[in-house]
Amino acid sequence: MKSFREAMSWIVPIIIGLIIALVIKQFFFQIVRVDGPSMQPNLQNNERVFCLKTAKIHHGSVIVFDANGVDPQVSVKTDYVKRVIGLPGDTVSSKNGNIYVNGKKINQDYISKSQRTTGTGDWTLRSVSVQNSWLKHSGATKVPKGEYFVLGDHRSVSNDGRYWGFVPKSKVDGVVKVPSWAGTKTTRENVNKEWQHFYAK
């Protein structure tokens, strides 16, 4: 009996610790790994960042979402990291390297001029939806209710909303937060605080 109590004295704390960790991961935050170059220069391949579950999603927020059911090429749970450009009800278009949301030019200081112009192209939501044969919302002129339009920062290599459409809110895991020990001051602000000055002045 004594040995049982001794065993339980260290087993119970471990079980409690695991439960707490699972609750935190499910409802508060988790650590995710960036896979690929689509968010360069602000997030690097294999960089680890926090995903905050309860953070509000703004224009310019960088989010983590499950691409299964969003990108037709994905058939298992796969985390994508992209930047929110369009919120529900928004119109989004691109011309001469500039992105316009509801007719207003957005600030893209978080990427270089060459990244803004190379691979971005001239388009509207309707034109890219038809050109890339979206399976859902083909011909849409606005971001549907309860969904988001996302782009990667490294536009010329990013597999993003231009090619497969919108991200349902139900697929979003959370908002990315780069910890103070990762990246540089500039790249951290480009991810953590870009939403505070989304539109160009």
**Extended beta strands in 96-163, E state:** 98-101, 104-105, 123-124, 147-151
Alpha helices by DSSP H, 113-184: 113-117, 125-131, 161-164
- In the residue annotation, 25 being an active-site residue is answered as no
Q: Please report, to the nearest 10 degrees, the dihedral formed by the alpha carbons of residues 39, 115, 157, 140 taken in order.
A: 90
Active-site residue, selected from the candidate residues 9, 25, 75, 82? 82
Please say whether the beta carbons of 38 and 172 come within 8 A. no
The distance from CA 147 to its chain's CA centroid, rounded to whole angstroms, is 13
- Here the tokens at position 70 are 């969003």
C-alpha dist (Å) from residue 178 to 73, 117, 132, 143: 28, 26, 32, 27
- In the residue annotation, 82 being an active-site residue is answered as yes
Determine the Cα–Cα distance for residues 47 and 187; give it in Å rounded to an integer.
12
Residue 54, CB-side half-sphere exposure with 13 Å CA sphere: 5
Determine the Cα–Cα distance for residues 118 and 48; give it in Å rounded to an integer.
27
Q: Which among 183, 199, 198 is positioned nearest to 57, based on CA atoms?
A: 198
* Residues recognised as catalytic: 38, 82
